[in-house]
Structure 1
Amino acid sequence: MDDTAGDLMAISPPNVTRKSKENGQGDSPQTVTVSIENGGETIVSQPSGLPLPSKARTVALVVTLTGAAFLNSLTVQSAVIVLPTIGKELDIPEARQQWIISAYTLTFGCFLLLWGRLADIYGKRLIFMWGCAWVTVTTIVIPFSPNEICFDVLRGLQGLGAAANVPTAIGILGVTFPPGKAKNYAFSFYSAGAPLGSVFGNLLGGIVAEYASWKWIFWILACLAAAVTIAGYLIIPVPVVNTGTKTSVDWLGGTLITMAILAFMFAMTEGNVVGWSTPWIPVLIVVSVILIALFVFWQLYLEKKTTRSPLMKVTIFQNTRFSAAMIIMLLFFASFNNFLVFATYFYQDYQGLSIIQTTLRFIPTGVVGICTCFVTAYILSRVRGNYILMFGTVCISITSLLFAVPIPPHTTYWAFGFPAMCLAVFGADTLYPSLTLFTTQSLSQADQALGGALINAVGQIGRAIGLAIGTAVQTAVERKRGVAESSSAASGSQALLEGLRAAAWLDLALAATAFLVVMFAFRGAGKLGAIKK
């Protein structure tokens, strides 16, 4: 840990006069500039970060911000484990129990971009703390829900708070650390928060469900959220007061993109439940496409025809590598999330393992993930970005292949399950920090939280698309094997196994496509974590 702390403090930022009070007018870092190496091309000059008074506080800052990513995954995964228990107590039919998860992920995915922009304008520290506080309060209240509707509404409000603090954490890292060794370690450590949250979510949900009421899951989560809130107040540096003109918020653009993502993700979530032929499903998809088109036209108008600031400068997508990075993130996250979901189905539904037994099989993802994040931080400034991204996509491709090929299903876990778990996080914890770092370095200091929101929003959309298509493929194969339209494949049946393998082949195709995009779009890319001399 001492070596890591030293790496995080490898930068010696110049002294700066800072006021002790935050006025809510955004963050204003110093103006010492450095250039980002990207295949010999300078994308943007970035100011150096805010000075931190001590090595210990620097490490504490990164840990605090990582807590946002950790809590987000922990909140989702711990609830997955106890879906049947909550459904039984609140009389929620099995067909609607998915909304215990979907209510959270919908609001989280939909409000990311708006919250990211608000953080860049009104202050990242302020929005981060309010987001964490909001998550704390809603998480405390959720267990007192008397019925299904109240529970789902509160879960949606909980996701609203997470949408505020997750991208803002990335934004704070982006403006605090100038490009270099310290920033590489900070982003890599942050990226380990999500997979660790998933592992501990399984453990928390499994242990609490076994020995106590499911309500304690949320109260434990509330305690952790409160700890992050307090730590944020004490640790995150108060930004320099911006005495310039405050940028206005593009509320119309924010409304358009939020409603577009909401309509799309709702359709993706419900398509496999009510059937894709249900009339309002394609209508919602068409509406979402129209809203996205209107959003793009409105952003271009503001950017090129007026002096007002758009919610997002869509002209950034004219940069081939930036657009490719978003496509890679979408494809990779679709494949990686599908692996986690369908591997769970394989162990629980097909092999009939208990929650605890299944959780134990996922523990390597957390342990290996921690190790991988430090290796990634080390190689970001030493290995070309295209090689790192190719390695990540190849890893998740092999992971999917191991679950797709007809290996006898009762073959020992150590022969194919364990290697798959390790390879999955090799891919995730090299690719995610690389793309996150690339995104923040491609945007100006004024758009760092928006960059964090964008990369997370693309991941959420990829997750929704991948799971919707994967579930449809699995269901179609099961129907061909004689499973009735209104029922699910029996536990341990051949139909279920073939359906899961078909979904794994889809995951392989998604990961392989991401690999091809990396090969062509990032060919000759420079070292993502290096400072151009």
Structure 2
Amino acid sequence: MEEKELSDFGRPSAGDSDVEIGPERESGPDKNHRLSVQSTKPPMGLAHEIAFVVLASSAQLFTQAALAESIAPLNIMSKDFGNPSPGQQSWFTAAHSLTVGTFILIAGRLGDMFGHKKLFVFGWFWFSFWSLISGFTVYSHSQIFLDICRALQGIGPAVLLPSSLAILGQAYPPGRRKEMVFSFFGATAPNGFTLGAVFSGIMAQLAWWPWTFWLMAIFCCVNGVLAIFIIPNYFHQDDTASQKDTKQTFDWKGAVTGVLGLVLFNIAWNQAPIVGWSEPYIIVLLILGVLIFVAFLFIECRVDQPLVPVASFDSHVCFVLMCMALGWSSFGIWLYYIWQFTVNLQQNTPLNVAAQLAPTCVAGICAAFTVGKLLSKVPTSFIMMCAMIAFCIGNIIFAVLPVGRLYWKQLFWATLITPWGMDMSFPAATIILSNHVPRRHQGIAASLVTTVVNYSISWGLGIAGTVEVNVNNGGLTDADTLKGYRGAWYTGIGLSGLGAVVALAFIVSSLRHRPSQH
């Protein structure tokens, strides 16, 4: 595999013909030509381009809405499933995030092989079908059946996210227009969650919670139909000629070991709060998960066409993915336990909580477009550092929040600060990795970021759940329950704080090696 010399992450050397080169690396006529190329938009009219970007970004919007549709009405849903324990309730959300984060690896590679538009359309219809079935689980009264359907529902976003990001990555060459489009994509995350929380709250309080899933099924089906007509057919065609002489293969060994390792590891962490770490099968699952994932990394370093090009990872890639894992795991904790705190201890309704989280939409949009402006001017390590600090501050505010505190004195500020962690880290990471890989491997770049984001949410909830049940004395009183919630937030502080340390270390390392990069 040909090595690429990078002076800054996402800015390849001129010798790499597969990757677009940023204008800051060129001068004279070549620079002017490159600037004109980078400022061009996809070959479509303005109205078509707007519809194209909105539809592609809706994959992120609906993914986060699906996350909210089990968090917001959690207590209301639980009544139809026999009021399971808090550890069992966390699976309503963790099952969805687990499959979203796990199967993205496979979906990204399949999109590179067979075309991202095909996968994009398929993902909407799969998402629609299992949203429909998830609503009907109410008649079964089986929490396990709901968890299975939520897991299968999560495969839909797992297909959609890398396909949508790859489509955008193929449509826009590196430059300001691409940065703003990817920032818009990232800004849909907090808005998607809030939208999902509002609709699920309305359905749960005023109608019937299954309608949340049934409405999701309708909207996803409509998006699938629209994708057939709005997403152009030319994607992936430019790479066909260069791949004619290369037999495209699917890394089945990597797929099996990667999925199995991630699933077993995550099941162990999320099941432990329910049955306890003293159960032998929990330790067995955890050890097997780690060993199988090590085997996955070994395979990926040796196959010709891997699911994840591990051998080509440099320190920049590892730094970005590590920060994303630590930051987003803390964000999942922050978000999940907000609902538990405000509903169970503050006695708020799901709709009230959704209204209290509304500032996250405005803050998220501001953060995403701020990053779009700063990416070409500020080092990535500094942006990641700011994102980790925002995640950490959000968890600190809630870890010291007393029951009954006026919303405007404390919670409001958390909703303004924490989304900056989301929408600074996600657009930065997606743009960086998209620019880092060849155009034909945009699916792999997209899958790396979205895998880490969604898998980390599920993994973080498992760790926080373990801490909660071990410090809340059974949750018999409100004081004990609050102690458990704070233990979870302290866990979030530790994870995001570690992310900030990693970002700081990378900043120091970059400063030390700056003279040698010329």
TM superposition score normalised by structure 1: 0.83
Instruction: Give, in angstroms, the shift of residue 130 of structure 1.
Output: 0.6
- The corresponding residue for 1:315 is 311
Instruction: Give, in angstroms, the shift of residue 174 of structure 1.
Output: 1.3
User: What letter corresponds to residue 388 of structure 1 in structure 2?
Assistant: I
Q: In structure 1, what is the Cα distance between the partners aligned to 2:157 and 2:465?
A: 26
Q: Say whether residues 1:501 and 2:492 are aligned partners.
A: no
Query: Which of the numbers 204, 211, 224 marks the counterpart of 1:209?
Result: 204
**SS state at 1:512 partner:** helix
Q: In structure 1, what is the Cα distance between the partners aligned to 2:355 and 2:46?
A: 35
User: What letter corresponds to residue 217 of structure 1 in structure 2?
Assistant: T
Mapped contact 1:36–1:441 kept (Cα < 8 A): no
Q: Say whether residues 1:220 and 2:215 are aligned partners.
A: yes
Q: In structure 1, what is the Cα distance between the partners aligned to 2:322 and 2:145?
A: 36
Q: Say whether residues 1:193 and 2:188 are aligned partners.
A: yes
Superposed CA offset, 1:295-324 (max 9, x none): 12222222xxxxx3122211123x111111
Instruction: Kindly report which structure 2 residues correspond to 1:86-485, keeping only aligned pairs within 5 A, or say none.
Output: 86-89=77-80, 93-94=84-85, 96-145=88-137, 146-147=139-140, 148=142, 150-238=145-233, 239=235, 241=237, 242-243=240-241, 244=244, 245-302=246-303, 308-317=304-313, 319-405=314-400, 408-479=402-473
Mapped contact 2:162–2:450 kept (Cα < 8 A): yes
Mapped contact 1:332–1:393 kept (Cα < 8 A): yes
Change in 2 beyond 3 A, CA 1:194/1:160:
same
Q: In structure 1, what is the Cα distance between the partners aligned to 2:368 and 2:443?
A: 22
Change in 2 beyond 3 A, CA 1:86/1:352:
closer
Q: In structure 2, what is the Cα distance between the partners aligned to 1:326 and 1:37?
A: 25
Q: In structure 2, what is the Cα distance between the partners aligned to 1:106 and 1:222?
A: 20
Instruction: Give, in angstroms, the shift of residue 206 of structure 1.
Output: 0.8
- The corresponding residue for 2:4 is none
Mapped contact 2:357–2:415 kept (Cα < 8 A): yes
- The corresponding residue for 1:15 is none
User: What letter corresponds to residue 305 of structure 2 in structure 1?
Assistant: S
Structure with more of its chain in helix, by fraction: 2
Mapped contact 1:167–1:452 kept (Cα < 8 A): yes
**SS state at 1:34 partner:** coil
Mapped contact 1:263–1:287 kept (Cα < 8 A): yes
User: What letter corresponds to residue 274 of structure 2 in structure 1?
Assistant: V
Change in 2 beyond 3 A, CA 1:252/1:383:
same
Q: In structure 1, what is the Cα distance between the partners aligned to 2:379 and 2:19?
A: 26
User: What letter corresponds to residue 308 of structure 2 in structure 1?
Assistant: M
Query: Which of the numbers 498, 506, 509 marks the counterpart of 1:513?
Result: 498
Mapped contact 2:92–2:147 kept (Cα < 8 A): yes
Mapped contact 1:81–1:202 kept (Cα < 8 A): yes
Q: Which runs of 5+ in 2 are unaligned?
A: 1-16, 26-33, 512-518
Change in 2 beyond 3 A, CA 1:387/1:240:
closer
Change in 2 beyond 3 A, CA 1:525/1:71:
farther
Mapped contact 1:478–1:499 kept (Cα < 8 A): yes
Q: In structure 2, what is the Cα distance between the partners aligned to 1:416 and 1:90?
A: 34
TM superposition score normalised by structure 2: 0.85
Mapped contact 1:331–1:510 kept (Cα < 8 A): yes
**SS state at 1:111 partner:** helix
**SS state at 2:21 partner:** strand
Mapped contact 1:52–1:237 kept (Cα < 8 A): no
Mapped contact 1:65–1:169 kept (Cα < 8 A): yes
Q: CA RMSD in A?
A: 2.5
Q: Which runs of 5+ in 1 are unaligned?
A: 1-29, 39-44, 303-307, 480-486, 527-533
Q: Say whether residues 1:71 and 2:62 are aligned partners.
A: yes
Q: In structure 2, what is the Cα distance between the partners aligned to 1:264 and 1:327?
A: 17
Mapped contact 2:236–2:440 kept (Cα < 8 A): no
Count of aligned residue pairs for this structure pair: 474
Q: In structure 2, what is the Cα distance between the partners aligned to 1:93 and 1:410?
A: 27
- The corresponding residue for 1:14 is none
Instruction: Give, in angstroms, the shift of residue 150 of structure 1.
Output: 4.6
Change in 2 beyond 3 A, CA 1:427/1:33:
closer
